[in-house]
Amino acid sequence: MVYPFSAVVGMDDMRLALLLNAVSPAVGGVLVRGEKGTAKSTAVRALAAVLPPVAVVAGCRFGCDPAAPDPDCPDGPHLADSPAPQRPARLVELPVGASEDRLVGSLDIERALTEGVKSFEPGLLAAAHRGVLYVDEVNLLHDHLVDLLLDAAALGRAYVEREGVSVQHAARFLLVGTMNPEEGELRPQLLDRFGLTVEVAAPREPELRAEVVRRRFAADADPAGFSARWDGEETALADRIAEARERLPRVVLGDDALRQVTAVCAAFEVDGLRADIVTARAAIAHAAWSGRETVTEDDVRVAARLALPHRRRRNPFDAPGLDPDTLEQALDDARPEEPDDDPTPPEGDGGGQPEETGKGAGETPPGRDGTGSDADNTEAPPSAGDPVPPRGEADDTDGDTALPVPAPERAAVDPGEAFRARRLEVPGIGEGVAGRRSKARSDRGRVVGSRRPEGAVTRLHLVDTVVAAAPHQRARGRSGPGLRLQKEDLRQATLEGREGNLVLFVVDASGSMGSADRMAAVKGAVLSLLVDAYQRRDKVGLVTFRGAGAELALPPTWSVEAAAARLTGLPTGGRSPVAAGLLRAHETLRVEAVRDPRRRPLLVLVTDGRATGARGVDHLGEARRAAGLLRAAGTAGVVVDCEAGHVRLGLAGDLGAHLGARTLRLDELGAEQLVRTVKDAA
Ligand SMILES: [Zn+2]
């Protein structure tokens, strides 16, 4: 059963954001952020039922509009008088683990080569055309799919090309993503592509919570009856959307309202003009939704609240949200108090202003985001190499500090300055999910060879295919030019790219690690490695040890913010149970290997190597034995030697040898050190 959209309780911002996009798909989609168990997916899935139905060319697998069929439609050309039945608007879900073929469709290269026909199987982009494309856990979507999705969303078309054979078709859809920020953030490029973002949380009021539960029970007990009871509301909502769509082209965005839009965008220091354009479009949609043909200050306020929070965020450690005082101040400053002598609107930072003002914005066809994508093309993507300095107080992020922390023996020191970290990698060649750390066989990267395909050919190695076919030409009866290919000639290219890893930090927080200054430097270094892990699409985990034992401070997660928050708040002092730390790491990796077997771990042990604890125990010996256990399990590792002072014992290096891991000093972790250490290793 699909839960009725009208029956969703609370989550007003989310419902409004979805409805504004339903009225004007040019707003550019919605990203919904929130913890688990808020029923955000239920609400998204309910949307399709209240969208107006679409007329499609009968038999077209690409959803062509009979009024304007796609001239390049692979199922075309369509006759002018083809039957045009109506079907409900679709909501298509893109699973996070989907293959490229599933998303964009598949071109059968084998049939093209051996039978000489173009055969194309449509993917999810075709299915979502003129409907909604929904990605749950969008933050976990493979980078490669993200790129394909963004290209299609920006162009309103999908292109599929394999070895020079190409197919294209229209793909305009409303993009909706949901995510739990605790599981990791979105790439900034993707974040910016969503027109609106909303944060959802379970309602706090007991009465609202009770209503959620009551409706859930009623829906489970009698799904058909529950749906039927909401039929009237659903129809009314669908009618209101249809009316607002019809009104949209007549809505006027006057100069005063536009000035407020640009003032608000300037006040929140957003980059480029995309924010201004999206805010203006959302304000226009809100006016249409509210039954008005003129944009008011209230429309601008609502639009800013939905369109700006994710555009002003500078790095993954910033807190979300929009400061209401700043918003009101900006609206107030731009409000016309008296007739203005100067009729020209203020100019934006770039000396220009959004091209679409007034009615023009409403007339933009859905998904054809000409102005927006032009602006995007000129924007340099954030450099992967740029350091993202984490803020000193990372503990205000999304309640990530909820875990109980033992009473500090010494208060937590703030981390020192972060820097651009060198790439630490797992040796050998893995087969993990694509990322940017260690070498791996993958479906992307450079061609290193070829092999016989196990299933369908996804990347043809043309030269090796021709070479394989060559010796058989006479036997196959070839007499003139032109190669005679058969299926067994086809060779799949073998690619080598990079994978993401699980970087498990094992951090010594004991008293021997030295002064507060020293600990700040250690924290700064680990934070730098965490930022690096975020950029390389790694999972991260954190084990700490001090005093009586070791603690899994953060189980393996996508949330680098959570790791940063735990690390920042980490108290220090007491003894150094190194062995306990290593054993806890060993156990954590053993469990994780079951859960995510293809992701290879990299253990980063941050310590001075001084194992201490209760008397009468050989702590150094135990630490060595624990290290040996990890080595026997084949765990790749790096030891970061934090030993300070004039007299160096080299105990961290000794542990490194037992781990089979390279040992680096704290000051060797920066990227600029890379050249020198490569020389050392040679
Ligand atoms: Zn068609």
Q: 681 alpha carbon to ligand 1 midpoint, in Å?
A: 59
Which one-letter DSSP state was computed for residue 48? G
pLDDT digits (tens, 9 = 90+) for 232-286: 999 999 999 999 999 999 999 999 999 999 999 988 888 778 889 999 999 999 9
Tell me, rounded to whole angstroms, the distance of Cα 399 from its chain centroid: 20
Find the mean pLDDT for residues 193-217: 87
C-alpha separations of 59 from 340, 480, 659 in Å: 58, 41, 63
Q: 126 alpha carbon to ligand 1 midpoint, in Å?
A: 10
Q: How confident is the model at residue 361 (pLDDT cuts 50, 70, 90)?
A: very low
Q: How confident is the model at residue 400 (pLDDT cuts 50, 70, 90)?
A: very low
pLDDT digits (tens, 9 = 90+) for 481-493: 777 888 888 888 8
Give CA–CA dist 184/556, Å, rounded.
Answer: 11
Q: 76 alpha carbon to ligand 1 midpoint, in Å?
A: 5
pTM of the model: 0.61
Find the mean pLDDT for residues 602-629: 87
**Residue 379: per-residue pLDDT:** 37
Q: 511 alpha carbon to ligand 1 midpoint, in Å?
A: 70
Q: 54 alpha carbon to ligand 1 midpoint, in Å?
A: 14
Tell me, rounded to whole angstroms, the distance of Cα 663 from its chain centroid: 33
pLDDT digits (tens, 9 = 90+) for 527-546: 888 888 887 888 888 999 98
List the single range of 17-26, 129-138, 503-512 with lowest mean pLDDT. Answer: 503-512
Active site residues: 274
Q: How confident is the model at residue 389 (pLDDT cuts 50, 70, 90)?
A: very low
Q: Is residue 456 pLDDT above 90, yes or no? A: no
Give CA–CA dist 56/61, Å, rounded.
Answer: 9
Adjacent-strand bridge partners of 168 = 159
567 neighbors 523 (Cβ within 8 angstroms): yes
Which residues have C-beta under 5 Å from ligand 1, the single-atom ion?
60, 62, 64, 73, 75-76
| 636 or 373, which is more confident | 636
Q: How confident is the model at residue 32 (pLDDT cuts 50, 70, 90)?
A: very high
**Residue 59: per-residue pLDDT:** 85
Look at the block and give the residue holding tokens 């007990």: 221
List the single range of 1-5, 61-65, 94-98, 249-253 with lowest mean pLDDT. Answer: 1-5
| 212 or 338, which is more confident | 212
Q: Is residue 584 pLDDT above 90, yes or no? A: yes
Give CA–CA dist 110/598, Å, rounded.
Answer: 30
**Residue 249: per-residue pLDDT:** 94
Find the mean pLDDT for residues 594-619: 84
Give CA–CA dist 103/123, Å, rounded.
Answer: 5
Q: 88 alpha carbon to ligand 1 midpoint, in Å?
A: 17
Q: Is residue 387 pLDDT above 50, yes or no? A: no
Q: 121 alpha carbon to ligand 1 midpoint, in Å?
A: 13
Q: How confident is the model at residue 369 (pLDDT cuts 50, 70, 90)?
A: very low
Q: Is the peptide bond before 77 cis (omega within 30 degrees of 0)?
A: yes
547 neighbors 408 (Cβ within 8 angstroms): no
Q: 14 alpha carbon to ligand 1 midpoint, in Å?
A: 33
Report, in angstroms and rounded to the nearest whole number, the Rg of the chain calculated over CA atoms.
29
C-alpha separations of 393 from 260, 278, 558, 656 in Å: 33, 31, 20, 32
**Residue 141: per-residue pLDDT:** 82
List the single range of 157-166, 468-477, 631-640 with lowest mean pLDDT. Answer: 157-166
Percentage of the chain exceeding pLDDT 90: 24
What mean pLDDT is reported for the chain? Answer: 79
| 349 or 75, which is more confident | 75
Find the mean pLDDT for residues 88-108: 88
**Residue 121: per-residue pLDDT:** 86
Q: Is residue 356 pLDDT above 60, yes or no? A: no
DSSP-assigned states of every residue in 3-40: PPGGG--S-HHHHHHHHHHHH-GGG--EEEEE-TTS-H
Q: 374 alpha carbon to ligand 1 midpoint, in Å?
A: 27
Q: Is residue 86 pLDDT above 80, yes or no? A: yes
Q: Is residue 600 pLDDT above 80, yes or no? A: yes
Quick one: which of 52, 75, 504 has its CA closest to 241? 52
**Residue 367: per-residue pLDDT:** 37
**Residue 448: per-residue pLDDT:** 78
Structure token digits, residue 153: 């969303």
Q: 78 alpha carbon to ligand 1 midpoint, in Å?
A: 7
Residue 58's CB: how many other CB atoms inside 10 A? Answer: 12
**Residue 443: per-residue pLDDT:** 67
Q: 108 alpha carbon to ligand 1 midpoint, in Å?
A: 19
Percentage of the chain exceeding pLDDT 70: 84
Long-range contacts of 265-269 (CB under 8 A, 24+ apart): 265/304, 265/308, 265/348, 266/330, 266/348, 266/349, 267/326, 267/327, 267/329, 267/330, 267/333, 268/304, 268/308, 268/311, 268/312, 268/322, 268/326, 268/327, 268/330, 269/312
Q: What are the percentages of helix, strand and coil residues in the chain, rounded to 5?
A: 40, 15, 40
Q: How confident is the model at residue 388 (pLDDT cuts 50, 70, 90)?
A: very low
Q: How far apart are the first and last CA of the chain?
A: 63
Q: 366 alpha carbon to ligand 1 midpoint, in Å?
A: 18
Find the mean pLDDT for residues 582-606: 89
513 neighbors 519 (Cβ within 8 angstroms): yes
Structure token digits, residue 135: 């990605």
Query: CA 6, 7, 10, 15 torsion: positive or negative?
Result: negative
**Residue 1: per-residue pLDDT:** 67
DSSP-assigned states of every residue in 253-274: --HHHHHHHHHHHHHTT-STTH
List the single range of 441-445, 630-634, 674-678 with lowest mean pLDDT. Answer: 674-678
Q: 617 alpha carbon to ligand 1 midpoint, in Å?
A: 77
Q: Is residue 418 pLDDT above 60, yes or no? A: yes
pLDDT digits (tens, 9 = 90+) for 150-175: 888 878 898 887 766 778 899 999 99
Give CA–CA dist 8/680, Å, rounded.
Answer: 62
